[in-house]
Structure 1
Amino acid sequence: MLEKFDVSITNASKGMALMLILWHHLFYEEPESGWFVFQTALLAKVCVGIYVILSGYGLAESIKKRGMELRAFYKRRLLKLYMNYWLIALLFVPFGAWFMGRTLFSVYGEHSFEGFMIQMLGLQMFTWVGYGYNATWWFMSLIVVLYAIFPLMHFLTARFGWWFLAVCAFILFMPIPLVNDWIFPFAVGIFLSQRNGFVWLFNWFQNKGLWGFFMLLGATVFMAWYRQNGWLFDSVRADTFFGILLILWTTKVSLFFSWIKYALEFIGIHSFNIFLFHTFIYYYYFPDFIYGFYSPLLIFLVLLGVCLMISMLIERFKSLIGFDKLI
């Protein structure tokens, strides 16, 4: 039985989501890699929904301890978000400009300074900049908005519960740029924190014994199929439900196999760093090296290993300069 969906399980779930994002990015445009690899790469886009759910959950958990003082909340959360983002940009953008031919001018044209500043504020997806220097950084535009509206969403979720979730589900079908697909999973993450939902769901399946295992397996297989072939709540609209099921599987595996939990947790601790820079490694700078290993599994493992090593070096550098004291 699960007593608490704690930080270690959250980090393990982030580790699982990071591996999904690497698999997705490596192969979702590579049908020649084989039917199974290609289809699982398409399904792996659920990683965004998982990150959004866990972001809502984590923010809601944090204010249980710290309280909701708006100025302190925005200062702490946005400063930490931006400082890590800017550090990665400081390390990788000059390298790309000086050694890989990816200059600011080649990306933004004659408005290089304005374009780069907009991207560093995380506002690029709402402007002419678009994906800009690194396509994966589109997520920064989303997470900045979600952080900004979190206090209001936390209040509304606590006050109106299921009714507010229904409104957020309706927003999935509204033409709101960028955020319409992600307000619902963010609200669900907040709701699950407020109602201890992950613990309740996990223990409900556990209490059913072997039937619970097959019910969870059947629900996961169905959601995987429905995400690709269903209607209305299909595709990314289904990722809230699919993502929760994958988080429950990660929790189950983590509780039964401690070594898997430690491995996923270690990856999860590095997940934000790797999210920010992995596209430079496999796509912009060294695609021939990464894809040169031919076997999809080996390509994936090489990228994961390289990214973990780089992230560990970054964390060591941050420790040496006292980076955490700045935030």
Structure 2
Amino acid sequence: MEKERNIRFDKYNSQAMKGIAIVMMLLHHMYLKKSYEGYDVSYAPFPEDTMLYMCNVFKICVPIFAFISGYGLYLSYRKKRTTPVGWTVSRFIKTMSGFWIIWILSAIIFQAMFGFVTRVYFSHGNKVQSLVAMGIDFLGLKTLFGTASMNGTWWYMSAAVIFILLVPLVMKLEDCLPMVLALVVAFPHIVMLDMARETDVYTFIPVFLMGMCVAKYDLLERWLRVWNKIPQRVVKFLLELLVLFLFYKAYGKILPFLYNEIRWGIFPIIVVAFCAEFINVIPGIRQILLFLGKHSMNVFLVHTFIRHYFWKDFIYSFGHFIPDFLALLVTSLAVSIALEWLKKVSGYNRLIQNICVKAEQIM
């Protein structure tokens, strides 16, 4: 009798999925037309329109990250050994610690090299307002307050903070989690809220709650156990591939307000399920994705400085989308590796860990 595979959406599969999502993010940011305007980029042997459309679709990297956050934070909260406040404070510090060190180093280095901090925060308004804006940016809340930021890509940190704060509140209604999700999905339609904005925190709360629901009811794990023998896996592979293709083709056809829950909810979740079962398990590719996933947070935080603010000419200097992309990926990874080394040798990681333990004990 054929042995069935035992694929789980564990922390390793989740990390590999982050590796896929960060590749999507880099391609999405690099090959929006406004991103490389003024530079010659060849997409040979692929049609330019096809590649630009695909890179636009790769915006689903954001809901993929939000889904994984909902999934992981739900499981983390269920295992907590402290109070809701203690868990929230500890999780906030763990999440933000990687951001804080990059914020501080960026402020010091880019101010010394380019006068960047002065230009970003102190070119308008008085000094008090400028210092408040710096503090808000440091806390990752610039999207909520509409204040200045050193890096436009950091808008997602506001979403990360909101996600953490939401978990204890939502978990009080855990038995009604599907109803909470339904209300959150329905609310913008009822009040006619504009959900087409791609950097709006609320836009990605539904898929975050979907991640919590999937974790609660073990839906992804159950799906991965369905049709596990070889003939069945072939059919499952082809069906999922067909569904993904249809979603891919429909992505840009319907107004976002009419189907955001599909475009940035159902579609990304199917991508996660497909990759978890058929991509993340491939030897060699799995190891590469795990490595990329490990560094995905740092790459997300630093790549815009490299691609857009300071070294754009270098990144787009190769004239072809593949070496241009690799230049950004490798440079960002090099910075991330150096950062992880610095955090280790400086004792930063140990300091953050001790603070989190104290927070859980005190609160």
Match runs of 1:197-208 below 5 Å = 197-204=219-226, 206=228, 208=232
Deviation at 1:302, TM superposition (A): 1.4
- Alpha-carbon distance in structure 1 between the residues aligned to 2:227 and 2:62: 25
Identical pairs, percent: 25
**Residue 264 of structure 2 aligns with which residue?**
239
Would you say how many aligned residue pairs link Structure 1 and Structure 2?
325
Pairs within 5 Å for 1:92-131: 92-109=106-123, 110=125, 111-129=129-147
Pick the aligned partner of 1:320 from 330, 345, 352.
345
> Which among 232, 250, 253 is matched to residue 229 of structure 1?
253
Structure 2 residue 166 is matched with structure 1 residue 149: yes
Aligned 1:163-174 pairs, distance under 5 A = 163-173=179-189, 174=191
| Structure with larger RCO (C-alpha < 8 A, sep 6+) | 2
Matches of 2:318 and 2:171, distance apart in 1 = 46
Matches within 5 A, 1:7-46: 7-29=11-33, 30=36, 33=41, 34-46=48-60
In 2, the alpha carbon distance for the partners of 1:278 and 1:224 equals 26
- Which residue of structure 2 aligns with residue 79 of structure 1? 93
- Post-superposition Cα deviations, 1:180-206, rounded to whole Å, max 9, x if no partner, equal 311110111111111112112233364
The structure with the larger Rg is: 2
Paired AA for residue 234 in structure 2 = L
Q: Deviations over 1:115-151 (max 9, x none)?
A: 2111112221222415x21001101111111211111
User: Would the aligned equivalents of 2:19 and 2:296 in 1 still touch at CA under 8 Å?
Assistant: yes
Deviations 1:276-298, CA, capped at 9 Å, x for gaps: 11111111110000011121111
Residues 173-229 of structure 1, C-alpha deviations (whole Å, 9 max, x = no match): 353893331111011111111111211223336464322111101111111122211
Partner Cα distance (2:342, 2:110) in 1: 20
Distance 1:193 1:315 in 2: 30
CA RMSD of aligned residues (A): 2.2
Deviation, structure 1 residue 241? 1.3
Secondary structure of the structure 2 residue equivalent to 1:220: helix
**Structure 1: runs of 5+ lacking an equivalent:** none
8 Å Cα contact 1:53-1:186 kept in structure 2: yes
The verdict on how the C-alpha distance between 1:37 and 1:102 changes in structure 2, with shifts beyond 3 A counting, is: farther
**Alpha-carbon distance in 2 for matches of 1:176, 1:154:** 27
Taking structure 1 as the reference length, the TM-score comes to 0.91
Distance in 1 (CA, whole Å) between partners of 2:217 and 2:345 is 40
After TM superposition, the runs of 4+ consecutive aligned structure 1 residues lying more than 4 A away are 30-33
Structure 2: gaps (5+ residues): 42-47, 353-363
Cα distance, 1:255 vs structure 2: 5.3
Deviations 1:88-134 (A, max 9, x none): 0111122222213423334552443222111112221222415x210
Contact conserved, 1:228 with 1:234, CA < 8 A, in 2? no
2-structure distance, mates of 1:126, 1:192: 27
**Does the 8 A contact of 1:171 with 1:184 survive in 2?**
no
Give the letter for the 1:113 counterpart.
L
Tell me how far apart the structure 1 counterparts of residues 188 and 66 of structure 2 sit (CA, whole Å). 14
Give per-residue Cα distances to partners, 1:237-282, cap 9 Å, x unaligned: 5121121122123212345412111110111011111111111111
Q: Structure 1 stretch 235-244 or stretch 87-96: which is displaced more?
A: 235-244
Using the alignment, how far apart are the partners of 2:186 and 2:326 within structure 1? Answer: 39
Q: 241, 246, 267: which is aligned to 2:292?
A: 267
Deviations 1:12-41 (A, max 9, x none): 001111111111111113587521221111
1:60 maps to amino acid? Y
Label 1:237 to 1:136 Cα distance change in 2 as closer, same or farther (>3 A). Answer: farther
Q: How does 1:246-285 map to 2 (within 5 A)?
A: 246-254=271-279, 256-285=281-310
| CA spacing shift, 1:149–1:162, aligned 2, 3 Å | closer
- The separation in 2 between residues aligned to 1:219 and 1:68, in whole angstroms, is 42
Q: Is the 8 A contact 2:156 2:201 kept in 1?
A: no
2:105 is equivalent to residue 91 of structure 1: yes
Matches of 1:172 and 1:261, distance apart in 2: 39
